[in-house]
Amino acid sequence: MSKPLSGRVAWVTGAGTGIGQAGAIALAEDGAAVVLSGRRRDALEDTAQRIAAAGGAADIETLDVADGAAVEAAAARILQRHGRVDVLVNSAGLNVTKRNWDVVDRSGWDTVVGIDLDGAFYATRAVLGAMRARKDGLVVNVSSWAGRYDTYLTGPAYNAAKQGLVAMTAHLNMAEGKNGIRACVICPGEVNTPILDRRPIPVPPEVRATMLQPRDMGETIRFLARLPAHVCISELVIAPTNNRLWMNPVG
């Protein structure tokens, strides 16, 4: 029996861990051929092995999305190899421990903005021409609760980058909807992923258990990819029922 995404090609950045890994696995489960990108090849190989064990198909493009030239080169290889990119998931993202105004430095700012915002722009721009030519394509940008609501906890660089993703997604829909291209920005509350390890105050296991889990985000990405081409969910805000980010700040 044909799977919902059979014949489709998905490129997922940040695919080695967390939301990106869960999204890649979910897309592969539905039949998509998935290209995995991230900075750590060992983590990408772990994701690829999980996909293969479930009968899916994946290949790897090791990549630092903050390097615009490298992103363009990777996209060119993917398009040459697969002929298309139907779904782009921009999930590469991080934060720094020294994040608030009294401790953040230029390096920290550049690192966060370079990966979380610039990287998504570079990857989107790199596949946009091919999507435009085919009059079809879905871009999923993984933002944050901090992308929709001002949040003290996450710091100025992360907030700026994630709010920038929301604005960039909106503009993409304005400009490219007529070309059959749709984009959705996901704004999740706290998710139990390795990014929590960089929190200034450690998050205990019992608190992590109440958060959104990577598989929840994988299912969300799967849902978006399954939608018919004439449907565009521009923005999706999702949070754990016990949403600690309503309380400002939290540890």
Q: List active site positions.
A: 158
9-240 fold: Rossmann fold (3.40.50)
Would you say residue 159 has pLDDT above 70? yes
Confidence of residue 174 (pLDDT cuts 50, 70, 90): very high
Helix axis angle for 18-29 and 41-53, nearest 10°, is: 30
CA 122 from chain centre, in angstroms, equals 13
Which residues pair with residue 236 across a beta bridge? 186
Predicted pLDDT of residue 198: 81
The 10s digit of each residue's pLDDT in 102-122 is 999 999 999 999 999 999 999
Mean confidence (pLDDT) of the chain: 95
Predicted pLDDT of residue 143: 98
Q: What is the mean pLDDT of residues 10-32?
A: 98
Predicted pLDDT of residue 94: 95
Q: What is the mean pLDDT of residues 181-185?
A: 98
Q: What is the mean pLDDT of residues 174-179?
A: 98
For residues 75 and 137, the answer to whether their CB atoms sit within 8 Å is no
Q: Quick one: which H or E segment has residue 166? A: helix 156-176
Radius of gyration of the chain (CA): 17
Predicted pLDDT of residue 232: 98
Mind giving me the DSSP string for 32-100? -EEEEEES-HHHHHHHHHHHHHTT-EEEEEE--TT-HHHHHHHHHHHHHHHS--SEEEE------SS-S
Q: What is the mean pLDDT of residues 64-80?
A: 98
Phi-psi category of residue 213: left, alpha or beta, with phi > 0 → left and psi -120 to 50 → alpha: beta
- Cβ neighbors of 157 (< 8 A, separation 6 or more) are 95, 96, 99, 104, 108, 109, 112, 113
Predicted pLDDT of residue 197: 84
At position 203, the amino acid (one-letter code) is: V
Confidence of residue 250 (pLDDT cuts 50, 70, 90): low
Confidence of residue 246 (pLDDT cuts 50, 70, 90): confident
